[in-house]
Amino acid sequence: MNESYKSEFIELRKWLKDRKFQDSNLAPARFPGTGRGLMSQTSLKEGQMIISLPESCLLTTDTVIRSYLGAYITKWKPPPSPLLALCTFLVSEKHAGDRSLWKPYLEILPKAYTCPVCLEPEVVNLLPKSLKAKAEEQRTHVQEFFASSRDFFSSLQPLFAEAVESIFNYSALLWAWCTVNTRAVYLRPRQWECLSAEPDTCALAPYLDLLNHSPHVQVKAAFNEETHCYEIRTTSRWRKHEEVFICYGPHDNQRLFLEYGFVSVHNPHACVYVSREILVKYLPSTDKQMDKKISILKDHGYIENLTFGWDGPSWRLLTALKLLSLEAEKFTCWRKVLLGEVISDTNEKTSLDVAQKICYYFMEETTTMLQKVSRMKDEKEALINQLTLVESLWTEELKILRASAETLHSLQTAFT
């Protein structure tokens, strides 16, 4: 459904036109599955420029420092981070309402986000363990960011009639942090003396940031130093009235959920992570060499990023299981295992059997979690949107595990 007629997009178009941006290729629209995005107004060819956004439309630290906040940022010690500068500007401009020069852009930004840091604790508890741990780290990071910024916010009091504590509160900063984290594009590093040495590479790109992610497309995106525009060229073809996508990167669903607050269906990069605890769950506890084997895996980088994917257990996961399954008399062959050599049929079969047990364990756990999510959806209607997102994550993981189970069954058949 084309949404160009909506008042907020009419105002945004006017605002962009005043900043020398006009576009006939794309139009805002609402799509089933992805929600709001950009639709092609005409057929787009491979290699064609789909959007070229002038530098005057970008919101960067340059924008902030040249604003009314610049004097306060310049004199604050230690220097604020580029992220804090951007977040402060967003909160301040949102508070300004109709007085903000950036109002047309602010009006189309999400009012709330679905990154794990924004979810209710009881919903976070339903996430896969590895993602839950990262979500809790994310929440702690944002809370510390807020706590460490409060003195700087207090210094801005002369700019406001209201108490700064009521303007720059945690929920306002969380919204600004999520806006930058989920929507910013990358610019080459810049350096301001009045800002900390942290990488200054983020820019908010009005209108361009309506483009949704698809793992199945490729684009070329960068700031063009000659035209002074942020440009995106497609390497795909689009028919008229199709949704136009960009790719945020080859991210699995847990990464997409953590950083952007959504799950990609049929994501070829999606996977299920195997922790060290689960890795050894079905190996004999009587193995006296187990600690040494774990140490070898750790030393050679084989204890992390062990996964099940659409094609079955990853090479890294099977390699780790082959080393862990080595019999005592074959232990000296561990280097050959890491090089991909076959030690024996027994070792191959044992590692596949263990992989299958781990896969079945995850399938059972995933089914149990989906049942928990379903029950909570019935009990907590206010959380249904958050729970539906978590449900989609578990559903995709279950599909991956079923595909892996089939692959493992086929591989095991060779040894029967």
Both tokens of residue 155? 């210094």
All residues at 6 or more sequence positions from 310 whose CB lies less than 8 Å from its CB, including other chains: 268, 270, 400, 403, 404
Query: C-alpha distances in angstroms, 67 versus 93, 119, 166, 356?
Result: 11, 33, 22, 59
Reference 234, options 213, 214, 218, 223; nearest CA is 218
pLDDT number for residue 416: 65
Reduce the DSSP state of residue 205 to 3 states and report it: coil
pLDDT tens, the chain, 416 aa long: 888 888 999 999 999 999 999 888 899 999 988 889 999 999 999 989 999 999 999 999 999 999 999 999 999 999 999 999 999 999 999 999 999 999 999 999 999 999 999 999 999 999 999 999 999 999 999 999 999 999 999 999 999 999 999 999 999 999 999 999 999 999 988 889 999 999 999 999 999 999 999 999 988 999 999 999 999 998 888 999 999 999 998 999 999 999 999 999 999 999 999 999 999 999 988 888 999 999 999 999 999 999 999 999 999 999 999 999 999 999 999 999 999 999 999 999 999 999 999 999 999 999 999 999 999 999 999 999 999 999 999 999 999 999 999 999 999 887 76
What are the start and end residues of each CATH 2.170.270.10 domain in the chain? 7-58+207-260
What is the distance between the alpha carbons of residues 400 and 105, in angstroms, rounded to a whole number?
Answer: 39
As a whole number of angstroms, the distance between CA 54 and CA 358 comes to: 52
Contact 262, 53 (CB under 8 A): no
Q: Output the DSSP codes for 266-303.
A: T-TT--EE--HHHHTTTS-TT-TTHHHHHHHHHHTT-S
Cα–Cα dist 91/164, whole Å: 11
Cα 310 to Cα 72: distance, rounded to the nearest angstrom:
52
| Lookup: tokens for 53 | 């956004």
Backbone φ/ψ region at 207: left (φ over 0), alpha (ψ -120 to 50), beta: left
Token pair 């005057």: residue: 56
CB 310 within 8 A of CB 400: yes
Q: In whole angstroms, give the CA distance from residue 235 to residue 238.
A: 10
Using an 8 Å Cβ cutoff, are 377 and 285 in contact? no
What dotted CATH number matches 7-58+207-260? 2.170.270.10
Helix (H) or strand (E) holding 52: strand 49-54
Q: Provide the pLDDT for residue 24.
A: 83
Kindly tell me the sign of the dihedral angle through the C-alpha atoms of 194, 195, 200, 205: negative
Q: State pTM to two decimals.
A: 0.92
Count Cβ neighbours within 10 Å for each residue of 176-197 and write b for 16 or more, e otherwise: bbbbbbbbbbebeeeebebbee
CA distance 336 to 314: 18
Structural element, H or E, at residue 220: strand 219-224
Exposed/middle/buried for residue 173 (C-beta within 10 Å: 0-12, 13-18, 19+): buried
Q: What is the pLDDT of residue 332?
A: 92
Model pLDDT, residue 4 = 83
Question: What is the distance in angstroms between the CA of the first residue and the CA of the last residue of the chain?
Answer: 55
